[in-house]
Structure 1
Amino acid sequence: MRKIIFLDFDGVLNTEHYQGLLMYQGKPWQDEHGAFFDPDAVNNLKKIVDSTHADIVIESSWKYLGLTAMQEMWKIRQQPGKVVGITPSSVSDEWLLSADLSEIAPAIGHCKGMEIASWLADNTKESTKYVIIDDEYVILESQQPNFILTNPHEGITEEDVERAISTLNN
């Protein structure tokens, strides 16, 4: 069974708390890849990855830098898990042909949810369990059971870890 974490960065790994702390301390808050990630949030992501062996697909706006750049940043920053993809910037014909049209109309403002559904349709032929971790409600209604909404101030919490592990392992 394949397991995927659809991951946002801002408000999930890059937290308001940590950015404020770095600025208050007069420390650098970013590198050539962008804003630094909160070590507590990264540690919580590591717990999810270690427990579930899930791969990571970036659904953050940072994805516009490209998959190679995301994988390079992941390696340089020694982040947990393996980045295997980024969600598309538009939806695929394959997904549109099989989509529930009653769900698409209300989802127009939630394009990340459609991009995630499109990625799943294009990249998973076997059974797949997934979670979506984001600080904004960006999903389709059918994705609700797989969605973890973070507080942008603190990012991924222990409670989020437990829920993600339960969703991916059950």
Structure 2
Amino acid sequence: MSKIIFLDFDGVITTLKSNWAIDDKKVELVKEICDITGAKIVISSSWRRYTLEATIEAITKQETVRGHKAFPYPDLIIDITSRMYGFKYGNKEKHYGVCRGVEIDRWLWEHQDVTNYVILDDDSDMLLSQKKHFIKTHALRGISKRDVKRAINILTKT
């Protein structure tokens, strides 16, 4: 039924060259994937807030953090992954961050209608079962045209 892009920001659509602000050229590459495959975006980035509405508001306001341009396609964003934490048994005061792959896996479990997905991220904290869906972008240069071709191939495989 649906195709999803799990989108990280830093190292994908924000780069060293853009001074870690949203780079319009990189966003256009993500939009190209959406246009060709019909995929929608789920934000898995640390830029996400605790709700979809708060996240969209934060990334589309012109005067957001670091003075970046607004994310131009909020209509392509359908959700965010949950921020998840683990607790050590017997010590609820201490919590541990859960790897992004687990957050993505949980989102997919909650959305059984997803037929295919791709993960665009510069970090490798994914699950082994996600390997064929994962595209590791260059941390300093962000998403490339080659990454776009790979994403389209992943999302159009039946």
TM-score range, shorter chain: 0.7 to 0.9
- Which residue does 2:107 correspond to in 1? 119
| Structure 1 counterpart of 2:55 | 70
Structure 1 unmatched runs, 5+: 20-34, 92-107
Contact 1:12 1:156 in 2 (8 A): yes
Q: Does 1:143 align with 2:137?
A: no
How far apart are 1:88 and its partner, in Å?
Answer: 1.1
What is the CA–CA distance in structure 2 between the aligned matches of 1:167 and 1:15, rounded to whole Å?
24
- Give the match for residue 24 of structure 1: none
Q: Could you report, residue by residue, the CA deviation over 1:83-118 in whole angstroms, capped at 9, with x for unpaired residues? A: 111111128xxxxxxxxxxxxxxxx98610001000
For 1:156 and 1:81, how far apart are their aligned partners in 2?
Answer: 21
Structure with bigger helix share is 1
State the secondary structure of the residue aligned to 2:47: helix
Q: In the alignment, is residue 49 of structure 1 matched against residue 34 of structure 2? A: yes
Shift of 1:56: 0.6
- Quote the Cα distance in structure 2 between the aligned partners of 1:58 and 1:160: 18
- Per the alignment, do residues 139 and 9 of structure 1 end up closer, same or farther by CA in structure 2, a change over 3 Å counting? same
Retained in 1: the 8 A contact 2:120–2:136? yes
- Tell me if structure 2 keeps the 8 A contact 1:57–1:87: yes
> Number of matched residues?
138
Q: Where do 4+ consecutive residues of structure 1 move more than 4 Å?
A: 73-76
Residue number in structure 1 paired with 2:8? 8
Q: CA RMSD in A?
A: 2.2
Give the aligned residue type for 1:84.
Answer: I
5+ residue gaps, structure 2, are: 62-69, 86-95
Return the offset for 1:131.
0.3
Q: Secondary structure at the match of 1:148?
A: strand
Alignment of 1:19-38 (within 5 A): 19=19, 36-38=21-23
54 and 73 in structure 1: CA distance in 2 versus 1, 3 angstrom threshold: farther
Which TM-score applies when normalising by structure 2?
0.78
Q: Deviations over 1:13-39 (max 9, x none)?
A: 1111121xxxxxxxxxxxxxxx53112
Higher percent of residues as strand: 2
Q: Would the aligned equivalents of 2:121 and 2:137 in 1 still touch at CA under 8 Å?
A: yes
> What percent of counterpart residues are identical?
42
